[in-house]
Amino acid sequence: MKTQILPALPGHPHIAYVDTSLHIEQVNASAIAETFGTPTYVYSRTAIEQAARQYMDAAARSPVKVALRYAVKANSTLAVLQVLARQGWGFDIVSGGELQRVLAAGGEAGKVVFSGVGKTAAEMRLALDVGVECFNLESPNELAVLNRVAQQAGKVAQVALRVNPDVDAGTHPYISTGLKSNKFGIAQEQAVALAMQTALLPHVRLVGIASHIGSQITSVEPYLDALDKVLDLVEAMERKGAQIEHIDLGGGLGIRYSHETPPTPQDWLAPLLARIAARGFGHRTVMVEPGRSIVGNAGALLTRTLYLKSTPAKHFAVVDAGMNDLIRPALYEAEQVVAPAEVRTGLALHYDIVGPVCESADWLARDRALVLEEGDLLAVLSSGAYGMVMASNYNSRGRPAEVLVDGASTHLIRPRETVEQLYASERLLP
Ligand SMILES: *Cc1c(COP(=O)(O)O)cnc(C)c1O
């Protein structure tokens, strides 16, 4: 018998072929699709924990104190947050909704950093009432609003200034945040003056400095560039009497989608911590806010082939997941590996994998060599981050189910959304 060469899935330690069947941990992908239908997001608990463990190990080995804050926006499903809360992680949030999710999942408010460029007064009040550890502020006017809200609440808000270090992270323009043309952060020229202003306000206390330069960053250099600028600002602020207790490096470490070779969390963190120590800031707490690198490669989107369609120009595989379920390809032209759940032998054709949504941007992958028959199950890998969180109901499609695999067990952590749920709160005219 001919041995079959199975697709290698580098970067996906808990998603692999056993014989010719794709497995998530010990569970057959086809069995998950049979039980829960498609499209369905499936996550490996072990993969999430292992990615988190890499950061925890790097932190444990470091003489510098490191505070780990998972960026909720990458994947905010309660069971996913719960897995990380149980490992002792804190959270980085960008809305009051994310804060409520963290609390519902068992996260500690005292380990929550509130980021985001447009926090409302109501969100600030909620965060103050539950006692988040820090607000990462992005503008002078936001500082004034927070001071007022904290006064009304009878509290003193701990704040960090998120500065914009003006470095090119070398990533997609839509996920670059650290250039001076981006909306994020406080310009370096304004940061010291703003730090001084916090000292005059009775209901805020400056405790930190933060930067976050973008996402899916695959080298350490832009971080080192940003860090140097941030540390220059810390020095300037402290010369004027401020005391900066923590330095927040943000998140953004990339993952391997197809051919990228990002550093491991250890290889990312070690040079940054070394630079912090070398410049004399080793006694400060360092915060990190990874999102994608914790959950990205722990998840896959299972989707079934509805139709194979060939035109004079192309071969299409029309599948039952669309851009409403996974928008990364349409939004960022993201390339994710598409793996068949059962490997077939035969003649491979080059397919564009497209969804049922009425948009030409509705594609999941382009020009993939696959041996396919209608009804075949496919797994779009690396879908654990910025997948379900960005899903919408466009075309009145309920969002996918989510399943967490833990060893040989499967847990339905979010049932598929029904159409009745979509319009349950709508009103007809009298
Ligand atoms: C999005 C975001 C993160 C996480 O980014 P990843 O690329 O998912 O690691 C961290 N911090 C802030 C402020 C963010 O906006």
Q: Which of 86, 88, 68, 76 is nearest to 43 (CA)?
A: 76
Find out if CATH 3.40.50.2020 is the number for domain 115-290: no
Q: Which amino acid type is present at position 49? A: E
Q: How far is the CA of 277 from the centre of ligand 1 (A)?
A: 24
3-state secondary structure of 366: strand
Q: What is the pLDDT along the chain (430 residues), one digit of tens a residue?
A: 334 456 668 788 899 999 999 999 999 999 999 999 999 999 999 999 999 999 999 999 999 999 999 999 999 999 999 999 999 999 999 999 999 999 999 999 999 999 999 999 999 999 999 999 999 999 999 999 999 999 999 999 999 999 999 998 887 877 778 788 888 899 999 999 999 999 999 999 999 999 999 999 999 999 999 999 999 999 999 999 999 999 999 999 999 999 999 999 999 999 999 999 999 999 999 999 999 999 999 999 999 999 999 999 999 999 999 999 999 999 999 999 999 999 999 999 999 999 999 999 999 999 999 999 999 999 999 999 999 999 999 999 999 999 999 999 999 999 999 999 999 999 999 9
Contact between 353 and 368 (Cβ < 8 Å): yes
Domain boundaries, the chain: 2-44+296-423, 115-290
Regarding the beta carbon of 291 and ligand 1, being less than 6 Å apart is answered yes
Nearest CA to ligand 1 atom 10: 251
Measure the CA–CA gap between 95 and 24, rounded to whole angstroms: 32
Indicate the top mutation candidate among 93, 115, 247 to test ligand 1's pocket, ranked by most ligand atoms within 8 A of CB: 115
| Ligand 1 atom at shortest distance from the alpha carbon of 175 | 7
Q: How far is the CA of 251 from the centre of ligand 1 (A)?
A: 5
Q: How far is the CA of 288 from the centre of ligand 1 (A)?
A: 9
pLDDT for 172: 82
| Active-site residue flag, 134 | no
User: In sequence order, what DSSP letters do the residues of 98-157 get, joined into one string?
Assistant: HHHHHHHTT--GGGEEE--S---HHHHHHHHHHT-SEEEE--HHHHHHHHHHHHHHT--E
Measure the CA–CA gap between 66 and 246, rounded to whole angstroms: 9
pLDDT for 406: 98
Measure the CA–CA gap between 230 and 222, rounded to whole angstroms: 12
Regarding the beta carbon of 98 and ligand 1, being less than 6 Å apart is answered no
Measure the CA–CA gap between 227 and 210, rounded to whole angstroms: 10
Regarding the beta carbon of 296 and ligand 1, being less than 6 Å apart is answered no
Nearest CA to ligand 1 atom 7: 252
Regarding the beta carbon of 290 and ligand 1, being less than 6 Å apart is answered yes
| Ligand 1 atom at shortest distance from the alpha carbon of 292 | 8
Between 3.90.1200.10, 2.40.30.10, 2.40.37.10, 3.40.50.300, what CATH number should domain 2-44+296-423 receive?
A: 2.40.37.10
Q: How far is the CA of 180 from the centre of ligand 1 (A)?
A: 18
Contact between 305 and 378 (Cβ < 8 Å): yes
- CATH topology match: 2-44+296-423 vs 115-290: no
pLDDT for 1: 37
Regarding the beta carbon of 414 and ligand 1, being less than 6 Å apart is answered no
As beta bridge partners, residue 157 has 204
pLDDT for 99: 98
Estimate the crossing angle of helix 96-104 against helix 121-130, to 10 degrees. Answer: 30
Q: How far is the CA of 70 from the centre of ligand 1 (A)?
A: 9
Indicate the top mutation candidate among 112, 177, 212 to test ligand 1's pocket, ranked by most ligand atoms within 8 A of CB: 212
Indicate the top mutation candidate among 54, 84, 92, 136 to test ligand 1's pocket, ranked by most ligand atoms within 8 A of CB: 92
| Ligand 1 atom at shortest distance from the alpha carbon of 293 | 9
Regarding the beta carbon of 251 and ligand 1, being less than 6 Å apart is answered yes
Indicate the top mutation candidate among 112, 249, 289 to test ligand 1's pocket, ranked by most ligand atoms within 8 A of CB: 289
Pairing of strands 285-288, 246-248: parallel
Estimate the crossing angle of helix 78-86 against helix 96-104, to 10 degrees. Answer: 60
Measure the CA–CA gap between 234 and 228, rounded to whole angstroms: 10
H, E, C per residue of 163-213: EECCCCCCCCHHHECCCCCCCCCEEHHHHHHHHHHHHHCCCEEEEEEECCC
Regarding the beta carbon of 162 and ligand 1, being less than 6 Å apart is answered no
Q: How far is CA 45 from CA 51, 259, 315, 374, in A?
A: 10, 24, 36, 31
Q: Which of 5, 60, 358, 428 is catalytic?
A: 358
Q: How far is the CA of 90 from the centre of ligand 1 (A)?
A: 14
